[in-house]
Structure 1
Amino acid sequence: MTAELVRGQNHPLSQVRLEIRISAGRPVVAAATLSDHNGKAQGTDGVAHPGAPVLPGLEVPRQAAAEHRLAVDLAAMPETVHRVNVLLALPTRAGGPTRFGAVAAPFVAVTGLDGTGIAGYTITGLDAESAVVAIELYRRQDAWKVRAVGQGYAGGLAALLTDQGLPQAQQLADGIQDAVAQGLARAVPAPPPRPADADRARPATASLPGADPAGQGAGGSATQGITGPGAQGATGPAGQGTVGPVPAPPYPPGEPQGTSGTQSPAGTPTGGPIDYRHPGRATSAPPPPAPTAPPAAPGQPAPPVAGDATGWSMDERLYNQVWGMFEDLARSTAAYRSAVDFADSRMEKELDQALSDPRNRIGGQGDAVREAAQDKHALLVDQARAAYDRDLAQLTAESDVVEPALPPAYARWDNPVWHGYRAPMEMPMAVRLGDLHLPESEPLRIPMLVRLPLERGLWIDSGPVPSLDDEYADSTESRHLAMVAAVALASRLLAVYPPGDFGVHVIDPAGAGARALAPLAGAGVLASGPAAGAAGVAEVLSRLTERVDLVQMALRGGAADALPPGLDTAQQLLVVNDFPHGFDDRAVTQLRYIADEGPAVGVHLLMVADREDASAYGPLLDPLWRSLLRLTPVPDDHLADPWIGHAWTFEPALVPAGSQVLERVLAEVARARREWNR
């Protein structure tokens, strides 16, 4: 979880390779100075700025912009460096505002290379200042920390650099402003236009599905997501897995993975190009501007606006906004439950104290004591509920504007956005698995989003759910419902990936899922027909296992261009029904291998199974079950958030009864694939 800092507060850094993200709303200049243990800068050679953006262990952007990313490798810093000061300044020779008080408060986030949030700081309280020391990274006894500074300078960049102990600070400040104004500093390249045909190339590590660009790791969901919506190895109640947001987003679609040519943010080469041809792709549109909330009525909170969270694109802003709602609801509910618990314990304590005297246990005096304690209890609970209801009203209002604005990947199947569905040109940031809610906030539903590409396999539990309505307790019906949920999820994944970037394979040994699989099979979007029998199981598993092996060897050997010409490098999803029926020991081993190693190279597992069916394997399969994020085809409270540990009720994202939206979407997927294959 990201630490939200206030001015002067510090926070330990658990990583040495970092990214510093700046969002200012208006173009600002970003720079950094390297200082000794006394805070004195190491001369002009120790200043990274747009005209000289690269220093050992540090790289800053090359022009003024509203959004910045700075790459930092603390391990590569010289031994004499004890502080890294991150500076922001308004461009003074490009028009526009000349003081920070006239612009939105800048926000600075420190993240890991995989996007995991470490600390964030909103720089408030600025007025006439035109330059500010935003944060500092400092070394104490071989450990690094980040401190929120927020020290502004009305004298501008020159005054700031002078305070850093730099000689000729005015000349340096003038040179930086001139470089920005005249365009002498080389800009961070914008996303290049995507060729419409055969000339499209990707970096090798980014083009292989699930590959880890420059060793950064794929951004993941919660604690996987719900770990938040899921962390990948965390566990919730009964070991079922937690839900939780992944705090920071990946690089924007099309944006270079580093700020300098073929280097990653930490300066690690990303490898040679590899050409995967995607004819018919259109150039992606630029991200929309962040929406502005309308003015609030006096004494009222500002009306919510969809997409008003921070982010590099509207999808990212909506993603962050959804997870902000999830966290807000978790914390508000925790506060309410804590207040009720306090009221209960206070009433018990008062009754114990009052009734410890035998004279108060009889007659009207005892009744009066009980009544007074109960009245105090009711008052406290009512006050807590009133505060909770205010929070719920605000979150409900936000949900009412956010839900209709969600893109298809995030939207429910009944959202009108699906009626105008067209195959996308880029993979989205995340996908919706279902909804989450708590018993105290029953009407409010929070989307459960997990990051893409999936970092963890999914398991839809087809076992009976006796804790729910008896109609779901029947084994046959629960298995069918589980397969229906799997088909809806597989269809969504097919729909949100660009044509040719995602393939679905199905293993259905006994054909028990034929009825649920009809939409996929009928639309012709499966890589091949559902595999049946032991021979079909062996053939599909062998093919996908071989793909995992080949891509792993290519990546580890730096020979991505040596992959067999016929190898499909698109992301692959294996849907397995009725596991372990039809699986021998070899097939079980291959499935475990795919679950463990597949996600890193673009092979993902979606398993529909009742764990009791595999009880004969004993503890042998325990690692498999633990590696998968368990979902249910019906509402069940088996997921936990990573902040409080609430047991959240999960509801799968199913197609409404009688709706033809799934068939229409799959027909569009099939049409887009045919055009792409021409």
Structure 2
Amino acid sequence: MTAELVRGQNHPLPGTRLEIRVSAGTPVVAAATLGDEQGRVRAVEQVAHPGSPTLPGLEVSRQAAADHRLAVDLEALDEGVHRVNVLLALPFGTPGPSRFAAVAAPFVAVTGLDGTEIASFTLTGLGVESAVVAVELYRRQGAWKIRAIGQGYEGGLAALLADQGLAEAGQVAAAIQEAVTLGVSRSVSAPPPRTSDDTRVRTPGPGATGAPGGPAPADPEPPAAVPQQAVGDGGPINYAHPRRQTSTPPPPAPVAPPAAPGEPARPVAGDASGWSMDERLYNQVWGMFEDLARAVAAYRSAVDFADSRLEQELDRALSDPRDRLGSSGDRAREEARVKREELVDRAREALDRDLAQLTAESEVVEPALPPAYARWDNPVWHGYRVPMELPMALRIGDLHLPEQPQLRIPMLIRLPLERGLWIDSGRSGFEAAAFLDPDQAKGLAVDTAVAVAARLLAVYPAHEFTLHVIDPAGAAAARLAPLTRSGVLAAPPAAGAAGVSEVLARLTERVDLVQMAVRAGAGVDALPPGMDTAEQLLIVNDFPHGFDDRALNQLRYLADEGPSVGVHLLMIADREEASEYGPVLQPLWRSLLRLTPAPDDHLADPWVGHAWTYEPPLAPSGSRVLEQVLGQVGEARAAWPR
């Protein structure tokens, strides 16, 4: 029976191989320290954290996440270790709450490797603290126990580690923050919780009368300033994040047909919660993503346990020199291997059941996806029309894991974009690039940028998205042709230092003006006449060619401040080529979501941190769907009254 602990209470641990599960509802950093009998941490090497996640007998998560699983093998700890403290901290310098009073009470559970819960503790009563010692595993008279601690620190991890006696507390806290920041730059953001009051204002499209009709999907994201023209004459600009109406109850969700006795329920497209079919499909895709992550995590944990058990049984069987040779030793080794295979086979059977169910669900969901969520080869594009409303998300590629490469999960990002994108054109940045020459790698990166830009253009109303391109040396002219021929660009690609300077100056001025309008609460008349209030996307090719120090600072400014006022960045760059600038560009890379123009396992999920293989959203070879879609967008833009 599970022991539900309160602060200060302890409970014996029946085994030495444990899993500590943390659920916080918001991304937190999980770490652990190894202390002596007095609880003092003597060296940096006794702290497990995202930048150094593995110690003998201890492994923690490699990034901040809402859920964590920490593996502990008490028998494998060094003899001088008498205490294991589990630490939680809110990431510093990243979007999100900065004190535990602003989040739901974190929940910590200690389980056996089979998932049986031994003890749990809910960390209530926290206030301004940003770091906390959640629980402590300690050795007493040869036996291990768990104690609920819940001691918070307003000074964060540095104060917490210093209190445990670590001399290098500040340096370790900085190293943890560095690792977490890098983790954020490679992580796929989980969908935020839904809010209740969601309304949206849109300018009616050509031929439309009145306001947009009917409820649209609920937008669960927190507000972010993105300029939208208000309906009416001379009214104030609504700088709030576009919201979706929820004034009427959602239509009923599809009902799955009954399954045969003993069979799993038949999957149905759109059976997740939501106020519209688009929102249901969005939530269903995220549910599939999470289910696959957790199913594979359980399988990998079971395999690790089986391997560890095999090693222990072999060590015991061969500890006696008399058993190392002869039939008894062979029999012991064979029995240990058979047990290991039985455990792995059972785990694989469970995984295969989950994979079969998810595959069946994917086969139903994929054909039902709207254009914003669909691959280029989906027949839905044959009936494409330029939309009058912005969808809640956009597919920018596929994700899969090695246990089932054929099961592709759409990678959806929320709209409007919350952060810029960086398409890595370097040959050393990802494994597949090693087989390409530099020109091929850069060409693929431009193709990927064109595909992503085309998808963005295709899902926005024609008058609400403006595209700019900087190509300083004109090296990508041929590959940018689908954009230039279709007429979707605001102007021809900017070339040379003068072109770079002109585009960056115009966009930074736009950011400044809209930010001033936001702060002053000004109306539409406060903005310069003819100013384009649509969202802006700037594609920068071949960075840092053509960029001087001033242009570099402007680019960093756009990356940091642009998304909040509707200016977004899509970089095509080789990080090594920009290394001459030194650490000055580190914040730029971290602020962008890195994508690769060929499959690569560089993205992590927010639950268990698997390395997911990302595949870019390129159109099928020989298909003209991308050009046809861009052609329709260009025609709609040309027909829109200026």
Structure 2 length normalisation: TM-score? 0.65
Equivalent position SS for 1:248: coil
Report the counterpart of residue 512 of structure 1 in structure 2: 475
Q: Quick check: 243-252 or 667-676, which moved more?
A: 243-252
Q: Which of 604, 616, 632 pairs up with 1:668?
A: 632
Match runs of 1:273-288 below 5 Å = 275=230
SS for the counterpart of 1:611 is coil
Once residues 425 and 258 of structure 2 are traced to their aligned partners in structure 1, the CA distance between those partners, rounded to angstroms, is 49
Change in Cα spacing, 1:141 to 1:277, as seen in structure 2 (3 Å) is closer
Residue 473 of structure 1: aligned partner? 436
Q: Deviations over 1:548-590 (max 9, x none)?
A: 0100000110003211121100000000000010011111111
| 3-state SS, counterpart of residue 247 of structure 1 | coil
- Provide the C-alpha distance between the structure 2 equivalents of 1:470 and 1:640, rounded to a whole number of angstroms: 20
Distance 2:127 2:228 in 1: 38
2:530 pairs with 1:566: yes
Give the aligned residue type for 1:672: A
* 2-structure distance, mates of 1:291, 1:117: 34
Question: Matched residues in 1 for 2:270 and 2:197: separation?
Answer: 16
**Does residue 579 of structure 2 align to residue 615 of structure 1?**
yes
Structure 2 residue matching 1:348: 3-state secondary structure: helix
Superposed displacement of residue 675, structure 1: 2.8
Q: Which amino acid aligns with 1:398?
A: E
Shift of 1:12: 8.6
Question: By how many angstroms is 1:235 displaced?
Answer: 5.0
Distance of aligned partners of 1:474 and 1:600 in 2 relative to their CA distance in 1, 3 Å threshold? same
Q: Is residue 470–residue 494 contact of structure 2 (8 Å, CA) maintained in 1?
A: yes
Q: 1:118 to 1:574 in 2, by over 3 A?
A: farther
Letter in 2 for 1:501: E
CA 1:272–1:635: 2 relative to 1, 3 Å:
closer
Structure 2 residue corresponding to 1:242, chosen from 187, 201, 212: 187
CA drift at 1:640: 0.9
Q: Does residue 546 of structure 2 align to residue 549 of structure 1?
A: no
Please give the per-residue CA displacement for 1:419-474, whole angstroms capped at 9, x wherever unaligned: 11001111110111111111112111111111010010100000014864577431
Task: Tell me, yes or no, if the aligned pair for 2:390 and 2:461 is still in contact at 8 Å.
Answer: yes
Question: Which of 401, 412, 415 is residue 449 of structure 1 equivalent to?
Answer: 412
Q: Which amino acid aligns with 1:622?
A: Q
* Residue of structure 1 aligned with 2:376, choices 395, 408, 413: 413
- 1:51-62 matches, within 5 Å, as none
Within 5 Å, give how 1:625-640 maps onto structure 2.
Answer: 625-640=589-604
Q: Secondary structure at the match of 1:515?
A: coil
CA positional deviation for 1:677:
2.3
Find the aligned partners of 1:322 and 1:588 in 2 and give their Cα distance. 38
Q: CA deviation at 1:404?
A: 0.9
Question: 1:601 and 1:317 mapped to 2: Cα distance?
Answer: 28
Structure 1 length normalisation: TM-score? Answer: 0.62
Matches within 5 A, 1:350-361: 350-361=313-324
Tell me if 1:437 matches 2:371: no
* Of 295, 298, 301, the match for 2:261: 298
Please give the alpha-carbon distance, in whole angstroms, between the structure 1 residues aligned to 2:321 and 2:307. 23
**In structure 2, C-alpha distance between the alignment counterparts of 1:616 and 1:598, rounded to whole Å:** 25
Stretch moving more, 618-627 or 664-673: 664-673
Residue identity matched to 2:582:
G
Match of 2:337?
374
Residues 1:407 and 1:251: Cα distance change in structure 2 (over 3 Å): farther
| Conserved? CA contact 1:465–1:473, under 8 Å | no
The aligned length equals: 450
Name the CA distance, whole Å, in 2 between partners of 1:351 and 1:326.
38
Measured after TM superposition, the shift of residue 368 of structure 1 is: 0.8
Is the counterpart of residue 531 in structure 1 residue 497 in structure 2? no
CA, structure 1 residues 442+141, in 2 after alignment: closer, same or farther (shift >3 Å)?
closer
Separation (CA, whole Å) in 1 of partners of 2:486 and 2:562: 26
* Pair 476,385 (structure 1): closer, same or farther in 2 beyond 3 Å: same
2:607 corresponds, among 643, 647, 651, to 643
CA contact (8 A) 2:373 2:412 kept: yes
State the Cα distance separating 1:407 from its structure 2 match.
Answer: 0.8
Q: How far has the Cα of 1:515 moved from its partner?
A: 1.6
- The amino acid that maps onto 1:634 is A
1:397 to 2:360 alignment? yes
* Distance of 1:309 and 1:576 partners within structure 2: 38
Q: Does 1:315 align with 2:286?
A: no
Q: How far apart, in 2, do the equivalents of 1:457 and 1:676 lie? A: 27
Cα distance in structure 2, aligned partners of 1:496 and 1:272: 17
2:424 to 461, 467, 471: 461
Unaligned runs of 5+ in 1: 1-10, 16-110, 120-138, 144-232, 258-264, 279-283
1:63 corresponds in structure 2 to: none
> CA-to-partner distance for each residue in 1:463-504, whole Å, 9 max, x for gaps?
014864577431110000000000000010000001100010
Q: Go from structure 1 to structure 2 and tell me whether the alpha carbon gap of 1:471 and 1:638 turns closer, same or farther (over 3 Å shift).
A: closer
Aligned-pair RMSD on alpha carbons? 3.4
- Matches of 1:275 and 1:384, distance apart in 2: 56
Please name the residue that 2:6 is paired with: none
Asked if structure 2 preserves the Cα contact closer than 8 Å seen for 1:236 and 1:638, the reply is no
**Against the structure 1 CA distance between its residues 480 and 472, is the aligned structure 2 distance closer, same or farther, given a 3 Å change threshold?**
farther
Residue 288 of structure 1: how far off its partner (Å): 5.6
Q: Report what 2:452 is aligned to.
A: 489
SS at match of 1:623: helix
Question: For residues 279-337 of structure 1, what are the alpha-carbon distances to aligned partners after superposition, in whole Å with 9 as ceiling and x for unaligned?
Answer: xxxxx999764211111211111101111111111111111111111111111001000
User: Does the aligned pair in 1 maintain the 2:372–2:393 contact within 8 Å?
Assistant: yes
Distance 2:376 2:126 in 1: 54
Gaps of 5+ in 2: 1-22, 28-95, 106-123, 129-178, 203-219, 234-244
Aligned to 1:599: 563
Alignment partners' CA distance in 1, 2:321 and 2:449: 64
The equivalent of 1:581 in structure 2 is 545
Distance 1:271 1:444, change over 3 A: closer
The aligned residue for residue 349 of structure 2 is: 386
Q: Aligned equivalents of 2:412 and 2:337: distance in 1? A: 43
CA distance in 2 between partners of 1:12 and 1:253 (Å): 25
Code of the aligned partner of 1:531: A
Partners in 2 of 1:609 and 1:363 — Cα distance?
62
State the AA in 2 paired with 1:241: R
CA distance in 2, matches of 1:437, 1:14: 24
Task: Report if aligned partners of 2:428, 2:434 keep a CA contact under 8 Å in 1.
Answer: no
Task: Name the counterpart of 1:107.
Answer: none
Return the offset for 1:256. 7.7
The aligned amino acid for 1:649 is T
SS of the residue 1:308 aligns to: coil
Quote the Cα distance in structure 2 between the aligned partners of 1:502 and 1:544: 14
Correspondence for 1:35: none
* CA–CA distance in structure 2, aligned partners of residues 388 and 14 of structure 1: 27
SS at 2:537 equivalent: strand
Question: Is the 1:250–1:429 contact (alpha carbons within 8 Å) kept by the matching residues of 2?
Answer: no
Partner residue, 1:28: none
- After superposition, the Cα gap between the structure-2 partners of 1:13 and 1:421, relative to the gap in structure 1 and judged at 3 Å, is closer
Distance 1:12 1:431, change over 3 A: closer
